[in-house]
A and B are shown apart, each in its own frame.
Chain A
């Protein structure tokens, strides 16, 4: 009872057992098991021993290393939620091992055998497909660069604060995706008349049978758009397990909640799909800005969709100390929900005056573009830097943070403080 290693290895064995059940497709924890587990914890604590999940490690944002990943910032370990340190955004393309990780429910796939993996496509279709990985690769391969961004990126900056994953700005990445067009796969199955939407399921599932499985849907006409992919490559390599191996949906321009990982089932539906993760989760107020007065309750809501226009200064970093009369470059990244970026303006005096930043290589309307502007602070003091992007159809960023109760769509012009000595 006093040996935490013994207890934790017992926990590991239980965990392994659950994973084995998972690969066999068995729902893993019954109600009795749940009560037993909860009861064990209570009983062990009562006896003065250490429950299996208790370790006096205080929680903090710190770097952790998960398989196939570099050191990323820990939000939660089960399910894994890992944020990218901003220094990786100095590069135009985010390396695979630095791309953020966000799963919703704890039974995430940890083992996939491509010989056994199948992507099922069915529902209101002429025929049902059971695509092997090789079958998927026989479709015309398309690749482009697109920003993947969590709907809750920046949630921790909301005022008043809202519950949920407390992301700063690192739940985003710029990745070159490669795969088959969803449209081509759907057309091969033959979408029949009367289809209203298409739903997508992956290999992850909940720790209890009652936990709603993560299933997302897109309206049929959206699903048949040219640019939506079933991607099996990120930056020319197979997907990392934690980013959705062997294949995931790419809905460029839209928030990543739709980019279902470890895709296993696609269903064409004649009745609108209404699972928990479409309603009430992942919805925004049905207003022009997707926002409402801070602290208020929304009336009508709609599923979150296209990404807001954003920019972020990466260098200099927050709180950095610079030297007077020494030239520096204010640089960062800017992107929108599939409309490209028309321009970025930069201020070094808290928004009183602005200069046009130069834009780096255009990697397409779904990618982020790097911006830079030279700056030579003449005097010592405290400075507030800002960047403001405008997308291809004229949408820009607000100076005050927009608010909604779930903490989505964050795109405030973010002030960044530096000191000049």
Chain B
């Protein structure tokens, strides 16, 4: 089981490297027009209960790397962040899932307070 997981991770990583290389091409410049292709990068959130809810909902609007980039925040700060995503940015996350995401973030990326 663990071996399969490791193999999948390796496969996923090499896939990402290859697709990153082919897609991170320099801007195509033709007469009067410019076009670029952004590399697609993906990150895995830390293990924990309801991790998949955080991974799924947050990634719809932004890279989940926003989360591990933050300093360790209190549960109240994470709750305020999740509320901001719903109230200000309109993320349609049901309250039940929002609570689970807040608990997950407060534990996996929080001060524990």
Contacts and interface: CB of A to CB of B under 8 A. Distances in A.
Contacts of A79: 62-63
Given A35-B92, A67-B24, A111-B33, A2 B53 contact: no
Given A59-B68, A68-B26, A114 B8 contact: no
Contact of A165 (B26, B33, B60, B69): B69
Contacts, number: 188
Interface in B46-98: 52-53, 55-57, 59-66, 68-73, 77, 81, 88-93
Contacts of B53: 42
Contact of B63 (A50, A76, A156): A76
A67 B38 contact: yes
A53 B36 CA distance: 21
Contact of B57 (A38, A113, A210): A38
A77 B63 contact: yes
B33 A42 contact: no
A65 interface: yes
A238 B34 contact: yes
A75 interface: yes
Contacts of B89: 206, 208, 210-212
A212 B24 CA distance: 28
A24 interface: no
Interface string A46-80: 10001111111111000011111000001111111
B33 A110 contact: no
A54 B43 CA distance: 6
Interface residues of A, number: 72
A45 interface: yes
B40 A15 contact: yes
5 contacts: A8-B19, A45-B55, A51-B59, A108-B38, A208-B60
Interface string A284-313: 000000000000000000000000000000
A57 B43 contact: yes
Contact of B33 (A31, A80, A112): A112
Contacts of B42: 8, 52-55, 57
A399 interface: no
A80 B38 contact: yes
A106 B61 contact: yes
Nearest to A207: B61
B85 to A, nearest CB: 10
B62 A78 contact: yes
B24, B39, B40 interface centre (most CB from chain A within 10 Å)? B40
A55 B16 contact: yes
B19, B32, B77 interface centre (most CB from chain A within 10 Å)? B32
A168 B33 CA distance: 34
Nearest to B26: A67
A287 B25 CA distance: 47
B66 to A, nearest CB: 6
A41 B52 contact: yes
A393 interface: no
Contact of A56 (B9, B37, B88): B9
A77 B68 contact: no
Given A163-B73, A241-B34, 16 more contacts: A3-B11, A35-B92, A37-B56, A41-B55, A52-B42, A55-B13, A56-B12, A56-B13, A58-B44, A58-B68, A66-B39, A67-B36, A76-B63, A110-B35, A110-B38, A163-B71
Contact of A166 (B27, B37, B41, B71): B71
A211 B16 contact: no
B43 to A, nearest CB: 5
B60 A38 contact: yes
Contacts of A210: 89-91
A59 B70 CA distance: 11
Nearest to A68: B27
Contact of B19 (A12, A45, A161, A208): A12
B34 A76 contact: no
Nearest to A46: B52
A4 interface: yes
Contacts of B65: 59, 74-77
Given A163-B71, A163-B81, A78 B41 contact: yes
Interface string A72-95: 001111111000000000000000
